[in-house]
Structure 1
Amino acid sequence: MKAHYASLLLVPAVALAAVPARAQDALIAISGTVYEKSTKQPLPGVSVSVKGASVGTQSDMNGKFELKSRLRFPFTLVFNTVGYEARELEVASGSQPIAVQLESRAIAVNEVVVSASRVEESRLKSPVAIEKLDIRAIKETPAPSFYDALENVKGVQMTTSSITFKVPNTRGFNIPNNFRFMQLVDGVDMQAATLGVPLGNAIGPTELDIASVEITPGAASALYGMNAINGMANLTTKSPFTYQGLSVYQKVGVNHVDGKDRDPSVLTETAVRYAQAFNNKFAFKVNFSYLRGTDWLADTQTDQNPQNLNSANPRFSELSGANNPAADLWNRYGDDRSGNVPVAIQYGGRTETFNVRRTGYYEKDLISPTVRNLKFDGGLFYKLTEKLELSYGYRYGLMDGIFQRGNKIQLKDVTVQNHKLELRGADYYVRSYVLVENTGDSYNLNPLALNLDLNNGSNTVWGNKFRTELQNQVNRGTDLATAMQQARAVADAGRAEPGTEAFNQLKNTITGINNWDSGVNVPGAPATGGAALWQRSRTYHNEAQWNVGRRIKFADVVLGADARVYEVIPDGNNFVDFSKPLADRTTPGGNNVYYKKFGALRKAPSCYCKTA
């Protein structure tokens, strides 16, 4: 890998202003400008920090920087940016004028990673393959966001279920939801407990706050547990001590420009970050982002139950293609096996039994086209000593979108919250966090379509109507394909049609019922079968790690332990409290269900071991 180094030159262009040091640590204000030597242009994004302290800032778009903190002369400033070698400048007094020019030259770079061994180490010495995106790579990536850029990382394949829901896959496990791929944000596992997967970057950092992304394409379960057997993404955010100030971006785009499935729509994202440090002791940061757009539409009409299969009607060639009464189309729900209705009539001088499927509803009529993703996070950081930091962080994410599992799930008003408390020293840390999951008003498309059809009569009632009209049409000499179409029209009479107020009201009723069982619905009576996805959970996690190798020079040893508790609140559908009476088990609530996990790890030069 090639990068650059910089040479540092001082020219009398910008003065260094300082408040005179009357006390041991005086409030000193430093300002200056960083230039690129060959072009004489201002150099933005250069990190300016005080050596040996957690005080720093960045140069702005005009190359200017300003740093205020309580310091003692002399102190050393460090100028550093990706692609340039870090250089140091000693500041002896407040009267020294300063301007900085950085000269680029090609040298080899040895990146630092933390994912491979849970401790900071050279990427070249990593025991496993690690792919890394740093700040520069993230800024230069030709992708809508840094998360989309993961698709360009070697060994990573991205599955896009929705604009707001993207799933990284590694090791060939290309499934709609990679249950064994771990995603960490500042050490916090982002997996939603009941859904079983990280919800993309719905609660993760914004592009303004991301510092680096490390991808482990291979198994990382030895150090991170079984959830990392397919790989891991480790996202690290910016420190408010180093990256201070206000940052804002606004992205606007247009999708569906061809107008085929949806009208051209605006896709917009707004993000804000603000960070501030005080006296090299206390710092805070806040981030906010909001994305809104029109989602993609799945509208493929391929028949999964063609006429040549025994589950259709292979003996009748005229019932093929668009005339197949047993068709099970992609992206149409309610026409699968549970909607199959055998119909027996007198045809051709004998009794013939035809397989017929309920009409069902297309995905475009069942989902909400508008998607949102709102994210907020904030953190408080306090340095107890120069090398010991206590921090608290909070994250909140709200999202809509499509989630693919056995069936497609319409995610609506899903929220995930995270509280984290961490004590970190030079060679150890202790971390505790809580994840709170709520699937909001989400619903399952398949039981929704089934129960919409059942509201127009059970399969038996609907099948009797179909049978009667089919027999009448055949007796009149109507060809079989046309007779099937006429019989379906009669059987579907009174069915809730998409786009009508009756359809919308019935859909809202069914998506508000937390029971996926097919209801024994009576035409005109309230629906009894539902499609709601009500899942609530909390995850409690505690872990500690000690890098013994920093104390014992002759051995590279890391010790760690963790404890995790999943608390699942019964919803009466996916999770049931069996202590309740049978008649009440389908109602939400009851005794919460707890799953517990305890583990320890030891990393030594000869092994990586995790026990649970």
Structure 2
Amino acid sequence: MRVYLIILSLLFCGVAFAQNSISGVVTDETNQPLPGVSVKVVGESTASITDVEGKFLLKPTKQPPYMVEISSVGYATQAIEVKTSGQKLEVQLLSQDINLDEIVVSASRTPERILESPVTIERMGIKDVKNTSSATFYDGLENLKEVHFNTSSLSFKSINTRGFATVANTRFMQLVDGMDNSSPALNFVLGNLIGLSELDVQSVELLPGASSALYGANAFNGILFMNSKSPFDYEGISVYARYGKTNQKLAGTNDYYDFGIRAAHKFSDYFAAKANFTYLKATEWIAGDERSMTNGGLGHGINQNYDGLNIYGDEVTTFIPNVGQVSRTGYYEEDINDNSIESVKADFSLHVKPMKDDFEIILQHKVGIGSTIYQGANRYRLEDFIMQQSKLEVKNRNFFVRAYMTTEDAGNSYDMRFAAWNVNRAWKTDQEWFTNYATAYQLSSAVMGASTTQAAGIARQYADYNQLPAALVGLPQFATQPTGGPRYMPGSPEFNNALATVIQNP
């Protein structure tokens, strides 16, 4: 009897619980069902969402009366009172425009603390410059987060960020004491060729993200600030000197010299001045990759259309009927470039504080002179280039006015590939060379019965050196051919004069 009563009481509880539920349907203004609408009991966690037909079912724990809230994005929220258990609701939601709070995007060109900056800033300070294990502080920037370095030569290194692995990163900006360090002619940053001496580095700050809001489209990939020391705060004479050796099978063993000196003096609370001088001299490694850029073997001996990666001049090619595709003989990199590296940097600045406070007038001049290698689409020799920057700046903690000018002279710089082309052409035109090659190739095959490889070797020997096998000497086909000497050999007076003439020709 006791068990029967317990079972009966449980059944009544189940019926009571089943009766304490509500259901309904939610539609829009056109009486179409609304799926995904939130339906919840106010004051407790009981909630549900409507199905594809707009229907829902709620089983709250509390007894009526209570409030049910129906809401959905884009519609006005409704609150309905439930007065009895098992009540069925029919709810129609009215559409509502959504007004978001105003968002303000702002930028500031005034200095900010790194912890207060809204963007990521990578920073190298005086202590970091001293502690870097890299050869120079500029090399040490490669250890900063999101920085990728491209090295064209010992003295030409460029920074890239955001995954753009190209030397000519035209969308990255570098400011040295507020002056854009980009080359006016090349339109990209020249690394530290006309930058700061590491003795004069106050701080280096890198913003790897887009900075176009403040500095224009050129700062799309990021911006690097290089700030020098003030002579008011850092006086005295400081010097550094480095010596090393570089060794390569092609270039041999060569000396590396790097020297710098900084002098700064505060004459009074109103006037200070400083000067920097650095000198670097070395020999660059020689690019000697001879892999062919065309189908075929390595070298003209087995591939008459051979185009070596670091051989220049053999890019000139043409198709000769009954012979095939043929390229001219080129020059190795060491033939048209001595690979010497030299960099001279100097800067001078006068600093005036007329009111003995943070108001300051700065007059500065920077100059960079030297020779180096630049690797872009081709290999370039930057020879005796000079770049100068002059600046007048008025500033205090609340504002600055800066005017500066950049001038550049490329000196005797040249593209190694086109230099080799034109040295070849100074000796013999392309048309004449290919005509010589075709004539010798076809006659050696017809008269001597030479194989394809033999005919190609005879043809190149004649086109390059005007030399023929005895069996072909005296044939009438060669009566009108030139009888001059061989092609200009590297290091010969003829070669050196031709290269100098090519370099001087814009």
Q: Fold conserved (TM > 0.5)? A: yes
Which position in structure 2 is the counterpart of 1:492? 464
What does 1:290-301 correspond to in 2, within 5 Å? 290-301=279-290
> Aligned with 1:147: secondary structure?
helix
C-alpha separation in 1, matches of 2:323 and 2:222: 51
Task: Kindly indicate whether residue 259 of structure 2 is the aligned counterpart of residue 282 of structure 1.
Answer: no
Bigger radius of gyration: 2
C-alpha separation in 2, matches of 1:396 and 1:459: 42
Aligned residue type for 2:117: S
Which position in structure 1 is the counterpart of 2:495? 503
Aligned residue type for 1:139: K
Task: Kindly indicate whether residue 430 of structure 2 is the aligned counterpart of residue 459 of structure 1.
Answer: yes
What does 1:46-445 correspond to in 2, within 5 Å? 117-256=108-247, 259-307=248-296, 323-336=302-315, 339-344=316-321, 352-385=322-355, 386-445=357-416
Aligned-pair distance for 1:469?
Answer: 1.3
Aligned-pair distance for 1:211?
Answer: 1.0
Aligned residue type for 1:492: D
Moved over 4 A (4+): 318-322
C-alpha separation in 2, matches of 1:372 and 1:251: 14
Q: Is the 8 A contact 1:177 1:404 kept in 2?
A: no
C-alpha separation in 1, matches of 2:334 and 2:500: 16
> Aligned with 1:511: secondary structure?
helix
Aligned-pair distance for 1:482?
Answer: 2.4
C-alpha separation in 2, matches of 1:397 and 1:319: 41
Aligned residue type for 2:234: Y
Task: Decide whether aligned partners of structure 1 residues 471 and 353 sit closer, same or farther in structure 2, where only a CA change above 3 A counts.
Answer: closer
> Aligned with 1:144: secondary structure?
coil
Which position in structure 1 is the counterpart of 2:13? none
Task: Decide whether aligned partners of structure 1 residues 488 and 320 sit closer, same or farther in structure 2, where only a CA change above 3 A counts.
Answer: closer
Which position in structure 2 is the counterpart of 1:347? none
Aligned-pair distance for 1:477?
Answer: 2.5
Which position in structure 2 is the counterpart of 1:564? none
Aligned residue type for 2:326: V
Aligned residue type for 2:491: G
Q: What is the TM-score normalised by the length of structure 2?
A: 0.72
Q: Deviations over 1:293-348 (max 9, x none)?
A: 001211101111113xxxxxxxxxx9998511111110112222xx112222xxxx
Runs of 5+ in structure 2 lacking a partner? 1-106, 466-485
CA RMSD of aligned residues (A): 1.6
Aligned residue type for 1:381: H
Runs of 5+ in structure 1 lacking a partner? 1-115, 308-317, 345-351, 515-612
More strand by share: 1
Aligned residue type for 1:293: A
Task: Decide whether aligned partners of structure 1 residues 319 and 498 sit closer, same or farther in structure 2, where only a CA change above 3 A counts.
Answer: closer
> Aligned with 1:329: secondary structure?
coil
Which position in structure 2 is the counterpart of 1:513? 505
Aligned residue type for 2:286: L
C-alpha separation in 1, matches of 2:143 and 2:323: 53
C-alpha separation in 1, matches of 2:424 and 2:181: 38
Task: Decide whether aligned partners of structure 1 residues 327 and 250 sit closer, same or farther in structure 2, where only a CA change above 3 A counts.
Answer: same
Q: Deviations over 1:456-480 (max 9, x none)?
A: 3222211121112112322322221
Aligned-pair distance for 1:370?
Answer: 1.1
C-alpha separation in 2, matches of 1:383 and 1:495: 66
Deviates more, 1:232-241 or 1:477-486: 477-486
Q: Deviations over 1:402-449 (max 9, x none)?
A: 123332221011111111001111200110001111111111212211
Q: Is the 8 A contact 1:164 1:399 kept in 2?
A: no
C-alpha separation in 2, matches of 1:383 and 1:278: 11
C-alpha separation in 1, matches of 2:463 and 2:327: 12
C-alpha separation in 2, matches of 1:320 and 1:298: 17
Aligned residue type for 1:335: D
C-alpha separation in 1, matches of 2:300 and 2:117: 57
Aligned residue type for 2:330: G
C-alpha separation in 1, matches of 2:402 and 2:114: 25
